[in-house]
């Protein structure tokens, strides 16, 4: 039985005041939440987030990491550094990093490896572009993304990986994949894993991301192969985020 996981991705949205409001707002409703809840905050607020969430059910994640552990990499942040702030999870390969910062499938696979080697759980984001969807290439796109990681880290390592399927056309657009569209791709991703190891395929959590909100969460999460959500916009509104967390 896979536990429902809800992860918030604040992206580049925060201030000291907003972090207090958001985290305290979520924490006050956590007693009714059965899902595992992760909030991925921008680097400068990790210390504040750690202080606010210690001894709570709320787990902290980062949104990226560098493939190196230390050294002359100006402006970059390593796995060790984020771990210093109680971080257990890290988003890897978000479509914004792939499209805006040139992260290829190879780079993403290396980041998954670095996260795993350093005791972090990667939230591996995959998903097709609008053109790929429209040309009937959704399966090819997600297969390339998943297989690049399997080749690098091996299927066994997926025991420590959470996958987030985020169709790029659904991210931040208000257009959500229908439950059927999402379920079909989630089932395909599980099948890709099963081609390598059936048990790992069954135990791997596959979250849906892309305009998930309090109105569509129930029907998405009810799908057999959807194990939770990666939430962008709605994670910035504590009441909406809590409602999503309670859906599990």
Interface region with ligand PGA, contact rule CB under 6 A, candidates 78-86, 103-111, 127-135, 231-239: 231-239
> Closest Cα to residue 171, out of 94, 111, 101, 108?
94
Residue 186 is among the residues annotated as catalytic for this protein = no
64 binds ligand PGA (CB under 6 A): no
Matching residue, tokens 């493939």: 67
**How many CB atoms are closer than 10 A to CB 113?**
18
| Catalytic choice (96, 103, 132, 166) | 166
183 binds ligand PGA (CB under 6 A): no
61 binds ligand PGA (CB under 6 A): no
State in angstroms the smallest separation of the CB of 95 from ligand PGA: 7
92 binds ligand PGA (CB under 6 A): no
* Helix 238-247 and helix 16-27, axial crossing angle in degrees, nearest 10: 40
Residue 76 is among the residues annotated as catalytic for this protein = no
State in angstroms the smallest separation of the CB of 91 from ligand PGA: 8
The residues that bridge with 91 in the sheet, in sequence order, are 123
93 binds ligand PGA (CB under 6 A): no
The residues that bridge with 9 in the sheet, in sequence order, are 40
Interface region with ligand PGA, contact rule CB under 6 A, candidates 58-66, 73-81, 102-110, 230-238: 230-238
> Closest Cα to residue 60, out of 25, 84, 78, 93?
84
Matching residue, tokens 């979520």: 26
CA–CA distance, 116 with 223 (Å, rounded to integer): 28
- In sign, the C-alpha dihedral spanning 111, 208, 160, 238 is positive
| Catalytic choice (36, 94, 96, 132) | 94
Count residues binding ligand PGA (CB under 6 A).
Answer: 13
Identity of the residue, 97 or 201, whose beta carbon is nearer to ligand PGA in the bound complex: 97
Instruction: Name the residues annotated as catalytic.
Output: 94, 166
User: Contact positions toward ligand PGA, by CB under 6 A?
Assistant: 9, 166, 171-172, 209-212, 230-234
């Amino acid at each position: 039985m896979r536990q429902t996981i809800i992860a918030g991705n604040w992206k580049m949205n925060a201030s000291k005041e907003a972090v207090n409001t958001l985290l305290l707002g979520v924490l006050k409703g956590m007693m009714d939440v059965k899902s595992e809840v992760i909030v991925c905050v921008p680097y400068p607020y990790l210390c504040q987030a750690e202080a606010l969430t210690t001894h709570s059910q709320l787990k902290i994640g980062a949104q990226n990491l560098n493939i190196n552990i230390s050294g002359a990499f100006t402006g970059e942040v390593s796995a060790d550094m984020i771990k210093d702030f109680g971080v257990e999870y890290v988003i890897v390969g978000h479509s914004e990093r792939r499209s805006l910062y040139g992260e290829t499938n190879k780079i993403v696979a290396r980041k998954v490896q670095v996260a795993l080697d350093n005791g972090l759980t990667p939230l591996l984001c995959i998903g097709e572009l609008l053109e790929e969807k429209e040309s009937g290439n959704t399966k090819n796109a997600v297969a390339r993304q998943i297989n690049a990681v399997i080749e690098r880290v091996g299927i066994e390592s997926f025991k420590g990986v959470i996958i987030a399927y985020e169709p790029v056309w659904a991210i931040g657009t208000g257009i959500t994949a229908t439950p059927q569209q999402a379920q079909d791709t989630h089932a395909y991703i599980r099948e890709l894993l099963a081609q390598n190891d059936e048990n790992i395929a069954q135990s791997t959590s596959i979250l849906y991301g892309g305009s998930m909100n309090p109105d569509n969460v129930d029907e998405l999460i009810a799908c057999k192969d959807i194990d939770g959500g990666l939430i962008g916009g709605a994670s910035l509104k504590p009441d909406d985020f809590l409602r999503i967390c309670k859906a599990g």
